[in-house]
Amino acid sequence: MNLLIDTQPIGLGQLREVWQKHCDVSLGPAARQLVERSQQQIDQVLQSGETVYGVNTGFGQLAQVRISEDELVHLQENLVRSHAVGVGEALAESTVRLTMVMKVIGLARGCSGVRPQLVDALCALIRHRVIPVIPSRGSVGASGDLAPLAHMAGVLLGLGEACIDGDRMPAGEALRRAGIEPLVLAPKEGLALLNGTQVSTAISLAALFRAEHMLAASLVTGALTADAIKGSDTPFDERIQLARGHAGQIDVAELLRNLMHGSEIRASHLDCDRVQDPYSIRCQPQVAGACLDVLRHVGSVLAVEANAVTDNPLAFAESAAVLSGGNFHAEPIALAADYLALAIAEAGSLAERRVALLIDSHLSGLPAFLVEHSGLNSGFMMAQVTAAALASDNKSLAHPASVDSIPTSANQEDHVSMATGAALRLHKMLDNSACIVAIEMLAACQGIEFHRPKKTSKTLETVLSKVRKLSPRYAEDRSLSPDIQAVAELIENGAFFDMARRILPSGST
C-alpha cells in the first residue's frame, strides 16, 4: 500500500489498510510546504528571544525554567529519554504502524514546528518496516500518550528497541540494518513527537476494526439462529424499521432479510401457529442496529482524531503565532472507547442469549443441547456456560474508564482522560465476544443440520460450509474448545466482514 499524506484527510478505509498490512508512506508537496513554514515560525521565535513552552523552557511543572540556547537540542533528547518509562507487554506491530502513520498525518498538518526531515525519518521507519517496541502501559491520556510515544520517538534517535520482520533488537541495530541514520532533534521536535493522542487512537482504531469483524459475524450467526429455531423474518420487515427511523436498525434488518432470503427452512413454516419469537431473535435490528450506530459514531470520532493536530504548543505560520492549548487531552478518545465497550458487550450478550435459546428444546424445538441421545451426551451444555462466563466478564470490563482521573505532574495535569486504558481493555472484550459468537456459530450450524434435507439460504449455506471445514458435525460428546478457537480465529480474520461491509464504518469509506 502506497499512502501519500498531503492536505486531504485519510479515511477509515485507508487506516484499516494500514492496520492490516505494511505500507509505504510519503509526505506530499503541499504538506511539505506547510511543515517548512511552521518550522520557520519556531526559528523566528527563537531568534526573537521570546519564551515559548517546550521550545526553550522545561516541561509540565518545570515550564517556568528557561533553557539556554546551547542546551535546546539536549532538552529535546532528555525529554525523550526521561519519558520512555512504559511497562507491560508490547503493543501489536499493526497498532504501532497505525500510530506512526497518524503521527506523520498530524505533523503534516504544518502546525507542529518540526522540520520536514523529521517527518521523512518517520516515513523511512515505516517504509523499512522498523517497528518500535512500545510497552502498552504508562499513559493516562492527558499530555498526549507521553510514555508510549517516547518509546516510538527513541527509535529515531537509536534508543530503545525495535522489530524488523518480527525480530526484536536494539534500536541502533535496527536503524543500521535499514540504512537509516539516527536523528538529531531540533528545538520543539521531541515535544511534537511525544505530545499527541496517536497511541490511544491507534489502539481504539484497532478495536473498532476488530469490532466490525465481530459484529458482522454476529449478524450472520443471528440469521443462522433465527432459521435454526424456525424463527420468523417478519420482525425484519422494512416497514417496522422505517416507523422508528434509526439508521443502524434499518440497515441491520435489511442485511438479515438478505441473509435469510431463499431459505427452504423459512418457507417450510410460513403458516405455523407460533405468534412471536424471543427478543434475542425478534429484536436483532433494534439491538444490533444500536450497536452498529455506536460503531459508526466511534468511527467518526476516530476519523477526526486520526487527522488531527494533537501536540502543543502549535505554530500557526499564517498568523505568526505560537499558541499553547490542550489538544493533547484524549477525552474524545476515552469517551468513544467507553461507548464502544458498551456495544461490544451488548453484541456478545445478545449472542449468548441466542446460544441459550438454541440449546433449550422447549423454546427452540431442536433436540436438547443440540445433540442426539441427550443424557448420554451433554452436547452444547457447557459451551453455553463458557459463553455466559465470557459475557459476564465483559459486563465488568464495560465499566467506563473515562470517569476516573488521577492528577499527575505535581498537579499541573490535574485532569486526565485515561483514554489509553479505556482503549486497551476493548481488546480483551473483543477476545471474549469473538468466542461467544464462535460458540453461537457452531451451535446454529448444528441446529440448521437438524432440518435436513431442507436447507437454509445459499448465503448461509456457504457460512455452514466454512464452519464445517474447521469443525465436523457434533454427533457425540467431544471437546469443543479447539473448534471454538478455530471459528473465533475465522471471525477475527474478517471472514464475514464482506457480508456486512456496506453497512460498517470502515467498509463504506
Catalytically active residues, by annotation: 53
Find the distance separating the first CA and the last CA of the chain, reported in whole Å. 16
Task: Find cell 449472542 and name the residue.
Answer: 351
Number of H helices, E strands in the chain: 21, 9
Core vs surface per residue 44-58: b (16+ CB within 10 A) or e? ebeeeeeebbbbbeb
| CA atoms within 13 A of residue 149's CA, in its CB half-sphere | 35
What is the spatial distance between Cα 350 and Cα 286, in angstroms, rounded to a whole number?
11
Nearest residue to 108 (alpha-carbon basis) of 29, 43, 185, 40: 29
What is the spatial distance between Cα 154 and Cα 303, in angstroms, rounded to a whole number?
27
Is residue 474 a contact partner of residue 448, using CB atoms and an 8 Å limit?
A: no
Residues 6+ apart with CB under 8 A from 137: 86, 87, 88, 424
Nearest residue to 78 (alpha-carbon basis) of 191, 210, 221, 230: 191
Q: Is the dihedral of CA 117, 118, 121, 126 positive or negative?
A: negative
Is residue 334 a contact partner of residue 419, using CB atoms and an 8 Å limit?
A: yes
| Burial degree of 473 (CB within 10 A; 0-12, 13-18, 19+) | exposed
Q: Is the dihedral of CA 334, 337, 339, 341 positive or negative?
A: negative
Nearest residue to 162 (alpha-carbon basis) of 176, 141, 147, 145: 176
In single-letter form, the type of residue at position 371 comes to V
What is the spatial distance between Cα 95 and Cα 200, in angstroms, rounded to a whole number?
10
The residues with which 321 forms a beta bridge, in sequence order, are 316
Give the DSSP H or E segment for 148: helix 146-156
